[in-house]
Structure 1
Amino acid sequence: MYKIIGFPRTRAMRVIWLLEELGEAYELDPAMPQSEKVRAVNPSGKVPVLMEGDEPITDSIAICTYLADKHGRFTFPAGTLERARQDSFTQFGVDVLEGALWTAAKNTFINPEDKRAPEVKDVCRYEFARGLDVLEARLGDGPYVMGETFTIADIIIGHCAGWAVAAKFDLPKDGPIHAYFNRLRERPAFQAMMAKVAGAA
């Protein structure tokens, strides 16, 4: 059984979602970021941490990539053009969408007050909106970013959509991106993840 260390309303949601998609057993330790329990397995204090036996794996992208590769699902094989495209979408989600959201969060409540620049949040909203335009242009006709195949790239981008709602960033109310995010939210594993998150709140 896997063990996830990290308060669920964080990037831990990505790992919970993937494990629900995989149908793998896991337990959840809802430790807060920067807590002693988290720092004991990750010096940065960041969550989530996946415990594979006694071995901690840190960073949600690394965790999701490891799990998908290990179980041979929701990813394309390494060294293929499809994997390169998938990784490109994952990196886009992290660099562009999450980048805007994380910068806004740091300047809202994470950084000390004297280290915040609240005015940057308008720039973050602008960059996020531009990112959605790029995503729409790249999405194509398939239900997911890799066409018919749901991958961890969809989990990363889908999590960013939920984060955007919580951060009061605008999401499209119709059109291809709206439909894409709805498809992700309709997945049973996503709904199971949300139930876990609500239960741990």
Structure 2
Amino acid sequence: MYTVIGTVGSRTLRVLWMLEELGLPYQHVPANPRSDDVVEFNPAGKVPILVADGTPITDSTAILTFLADHHGALTYDAGSIERARQDSLTQFILDEFDAALWTAARHSFILPEELRMSGIKNTLRWEFERSQKTLNHRMAEGEFLLGERMTVPDIILSHCLTWALAAKFPIVEARLSDYLDRMRARPAFQRAAAR
């Protein structure tokens, strides 16, 4: 059994959702970043943490990739062209969506007040909207980013788009709004978000 450490209101949701999609048993410890439960496994104090066979794994993307590869689901085979496309989309989403949202959060409530630059959020929103247009052209036809098969970047993108709504970063592409509605309606997402 896996142990997942971190709160649902963080990137931990990605890991919980993945485990729900895979139908795997796990224990959830809803610990806040930098709390004793977190620092014990990750000195940086960041969540999520997945404990697998007594070994902590950090960083949500590393955890999702490990789970997908280990259980042979929600991924394409390593070394395949499909996996290269999957990894390319994962990196694009992390660089263009996750990074913008994380930088906005840092300048909203994470950094000390004297280091925050509120004006940067307008630039980040502009970049976020532009990245949506690019992603719209990269998406395959079908229910998921790569077509008819759900993969790791679907979880990351859906989490980022959910985060964007909470951060008041508009989703300007109708195709992405429809996509997010479908993804958030999945029973596994609903179970993970309810924790």
| Fold shared per TM-score above 0.5 | yes
Q: CA deviation at 1:36?
A: 2.1
Contact 2:32 2:38 in 1 (8 A): yes
Inter-partner Cα distance in structure 2 for 1:78 and 1:93: 19
Q: What's the CA shift string for 1:122-173, capped at 9, x where partnerless?
A: 011011111111111111322111110000110000000110011011113x
Inter-partner Cα distance in structure 2 for 1:34 and 1:115: 20
SS at match of 1:27: strand
**Consecutive unaligned residues in structure 2, runs of 5 or more:** none
- Partner residue, 2:147: 147
- Partner residue, 2:132: 132
- Partner residue, 2:191: 192
Q: What's the CA shift string for 1:101-127, capped at 9, x where partnerless?
A: 000000000111111111100011011
- Partner residue, 1:111: 111
Taking structure 2 as the reference length, the TM-score comes to 0.97
SS at match of 2:57: strand
Inter-partner Cα distance in structure 1 for 2:165 and 2:176: 14
Tell whether 2:156 aligns with 1:156. Answer: yes
Contact 2:8 2:193 in 1 (8 A): no
Q: CA deviation at 1:78?
A: 0.6
Inter-partner Cα distance in structure 1 for 2:10 and 2:177: 23
- 2:179 corresponds to which letter in structure 1? Y
- Partner residue, 1:94: 94
Q: CA deviation at 1:26?
A: 0.7
SS at match of 2:69: helix
Inter-partner Cα distance in structure 2 for 1:152 and 1:123: 28
**Consecutive unaligned residues in structure 1, runs of 5 or more:** 197-201
- Partner residue, 1:38: 38
Inter-partner Cα distance in structure 2 for 1:136 and 1:157: 12
Q: What's the CA shift string for 1:46-97, capped at 9, x where partnerless?
A: 0000001211000000000000000000000111110000011111111100
Please identify runs of 4+ aligned residues in structure 1 that moved more than 3 A. Answer: none
Inter-partner Cα distance in structure 1 for 2:104 and 2:112: 13
- Partner residue, 2:174: 175
SS at match of 1:62: helix
Cα root mean square deviation, aligned: 1.0
Inter-partner Cα distance in structure 2 for 1:183 and 1:30: 26
- Partner residue, 2:4: 4
SS at match of 1:28: strand
Tell whether 2:25 aligns with 1:51. Answer: no
- Partner residue, 1:24: 24
Q: CA deviation at 1:193?
A: 1.2
SS at match of 1:32: coil
Tell whether 2:69 aligns with 1:69. Answer: yes
SS at match of 1:150: coil
Identity of paired residues, percent?
A: 49
Inter-partner Cα distance in structure 1 for 2:158 and 2:121: 21
